[in-house]
Amino acid sequence: MKVLVTGVTGYIGSHTAVELLAEGHDLIGIDDFSTSSPKVKHDIERVAGRPFTLLDLDLRNRCEVECLLASGEFDAIIHFAGRKFVGESVAEPMQYYERNLAASVSLAAAAQRHEISHVVFSSSCTVYGQPTQLPVTEETPIAPVSPYGRTKAMTETVLQDLCDATPSASVLALRYFNPIGAHPSALLGEVPSGPPNNLLPYIMQVAKRVRPFLNIYGGDYDTHDGTCIRDYIHVVDLARAHVLALDRAAETTGFEALNLGTGIGSSVLDVLEACEKATGRAIPHQIVDRRPGDAASMFADPSRAQQLLGWKAEANLPEMCLDHWNFERNLDVDALSA
């Protein structure tokens, strides 16, 4: 298929681009490079062994989006573009509603006008808020507690309404749990702009002595070691799921939401221990006060994705941490300390 990939040079977008190219799909990628670099194109092509087209385009520019979709003859869209940090969304909610929700509505409307029926949407487990029962299934109530989570839930509603109004449309909303790791080639991975908001990049920067220590927010949760538990999934496993979701979107109609996780919960201290083994270095850390809104535990029931896509996460936590470290240790230290 000829696929439009938004946010293609981002962390998950770049890994998915590799998998799509490996499967023979033709890619047109777009990005505004607000949190990534156009240099990632070279790394994607180097890993995949195939070229693709990259355009500098902001989804908020409706005229450019309209022109692209009018001329592109696309078979499908995989939509990653948007902001993704819970804390930032609380401080800057209007940016999130503009970049995540309004831009997605504009893209969906243009896709409908140009009869692009197949969409895979990058959603998030944050749509569930703080679930009271585990593991989290797709039937768990949608109850987001942050502007970020609400933009994902609202975009899902928009896409579901699009499917209801367009009998030929098919949308798969993939609800990610906690992506970590990097491509085994060590050429692609997560490159934060400024201080990391996610656990693994921060741990790795402490391991590299870019940052002095890791703050662990809360050590008195009702978990096996008192720290929060999350479902960590290798970014390449996540990328593979998008290719399978694209295949399913081409064969079905309607809206489906799928959890993407391992089904295994790991605590912050579990991850820290795995990272110390992967890096061979002690990682200084301290327990500080809890952050408002953090759930004690969150992990997926990924059985529906296995049933409908034939997909299952393969990498374990030590493998994820080792791949993340192999990529991270090759990054420029000055760039990380920005």
Kindly state the percentage of the chain with pLDDT values over 90.
92
Is the separation of the CB atoms in 9 and 34 below 8 Å?
no
pLDDT band at 186 (very low <50, low <70, confident <90, very high): very high
Closest CA to 300 of 291, 289, 290, 313: 313
What's the rounded mean pLDDT across residues 1-14?
A: 98
Given this model, what pLDDT does residue 123 score?
Answer: 98
All residues at 6 or more sequence positions from 271 whose CB lies less than 8 Å from its CB, including other chains: 199, 200, 203, 232, 317, 321
- 3-state secondary structure at position 259: strand
The structural architecture, per CATH, of the domain 199-230+263-336 is Alpha-Beta Complex (3.90)
As a whole number, mean pLDDT of residues 305-311 equals 98
Nearest to 238 by CA among 171, 315, 166, 172: 315
Over residues 151-165, the mean pLDDT reads: 98
Question: pTM for this structure?
Answer: 0.96
Q: Does the pLDDT of residue 173 top 50, yes or no?
A: yes
pLDDT at 335 over 80: no
Asked if residues 16 and 62 have their Cβ atoms less than 8 Å apart, the reply is no
DSSP state of 226: S
**Of 193 and 48, more confident:** 48
Structure confidence at residue 334 (pLDDT): 42
- Find tokens 């949190």 and name the residue: 35
Q: What is the structure's pLDDT at 331? A: 80
Instruction: Give yes or no for residue 259 having a pLDDT over 90.
Output: yes
CA 94/CA 113 separation, integer angstroms? 27
Model confidence at 158, pLDDT cuts 50, 70, 90, reads very high
For residue 336, what pLDDT band results from cuts at 50, 70 and 90? very low
- Residue 193 pLDDT level (bands cut at 50, 70, 90): confident
Task: Look up 148 and say whether it is catalytic.
Answer: yes
Topology given in CATH for the domain delimited by 2-180+232-260: Rossmann fold (3.40.50)
Position 71 confidence tier, pLDDT thresholds 50, 70, 90: confident
> Residue 332 has what pLDDT?
66
Q: What pLDDT, in 10s, does the model give residues 121-142? A: 999 999 999 998 999 999 999 9
pLDDT, position 192: 87
Catalytic residue of the set 11, 96, 128, 148: 148
Q: How do the domains of the chain map onto residue ranges?
A: 2-180+232-260, 199-230+263-336
Look at residue 113 in the predicted model and tell me its pLDDT.
95
pLDDT recorded at residue 180 = 98
